[in-house]
């Protein structure tokens, strides 16, 4: 009976804790923002299990994003601003795709020179390119806010532990 209990307890235990680094936060934010840009502003649930290239298991990523968005309003605002930036780029990409398909369906209406320039524009336009200066700076701003939140949290927790430690030592 004891060995059975030990086996059940071991199988129910949580997996190892995932330590979030700046790079893993960056990967998580990029995946989250891409999905939110595609889904739109009115759709709040993110299908975590269907996302590829996550830095941690889907449930861990879900908890991390929930923590980031709920704990600090500045982080939430910066993430939503970044989602809006990428969402606007995604809308432009879809519009270019639609106009390209229309021109392919009705070639007699379109002008050949316009079609060639549109083809090259559409091939070069990556809506989810995080190396675009505007998007890169917004992503870096979010990461800086996350780092300052970590530092602030450590400062808040540090003195409390020191006081508790001195109280314990005095008694």
Residue 101 CA to residue 109 CA, distance in Å, equals: 13
Give the start-to-end residue ranges of the domains of the chain.
20-148
Q: Mean pLDDT check: name the lowest of 45-49, 98-102, 134-138, 167-171.
A: 167-171
Residue 111 CA to residue 1 CA, distance in Å, equals: 81
* Cβ(62)–Cβ(153) below 8 Å: no
Indicate the pTM of the whole model.
0.72
Residue 14 CA to residue 20 CA, distance in Å, equals: 17
DSSP state of 14: P
Residues 25-73: tens digit of each pLDDT: 999 999 999 999 998 877 778 899 998 889 999 999 999 999 999 988 9
Residue 100 CA to residue 110 CA, distance in Å, equals: 10
pLDDT band of 99, cuts 50, 70, 90: confident
**CB neighbour burial string for 105-118, b if at least 16 within 10 angstroms, e if fewer:** eeeeebeeeeeeee
CA-CA-CA-CA dihedral for 145, 143, 16, 13, to nearest 10: 50
First-residue to last-residue Cα distance in the chain: 43
Cα–Cα nearest to 69, from 123, 145, 120: 145
Comparing 2 with 65, which gets the higher pLDDT? 65
* Cβ(129)–Cβ(92) below 8 Å: no
């Amino acid at each position: 009976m004891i060995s059975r209990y030990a086996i059940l307890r071991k199988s129910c235990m949580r997996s190892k804790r995932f330590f979030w680094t700046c790079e893993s936060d960056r990967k998580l934010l990029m995946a989250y923002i891409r999905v939110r840009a595609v889904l739109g502003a009115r759709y709040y649930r993110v299908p975590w299990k269907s996302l590829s290239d996550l830095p941690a298991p889907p449930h861990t990523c879900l908890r991390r994003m929930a923590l980031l968005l709920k704990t600090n309003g500045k982080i939430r605002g910066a993430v939503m601003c970044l989602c809006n930036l990428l969402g606007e780029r995604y809308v432009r990409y879809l519009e270019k795709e639609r106009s390209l398909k229309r021109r392919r369906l009705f070639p007699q209406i379109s002008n050949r020179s316009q079609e060639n320039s549109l083809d090259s524009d559409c091939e070069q336009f990556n809506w989810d390119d995080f190396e675009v200066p505007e998007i890169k700076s917004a992503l870096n701003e979010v990461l800086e806010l996350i780092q300052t939140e970590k530092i602030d949290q450590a400062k808040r927790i540090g003195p409390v532990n020191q006081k508790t430690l001195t109280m314990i030592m005095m008694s």
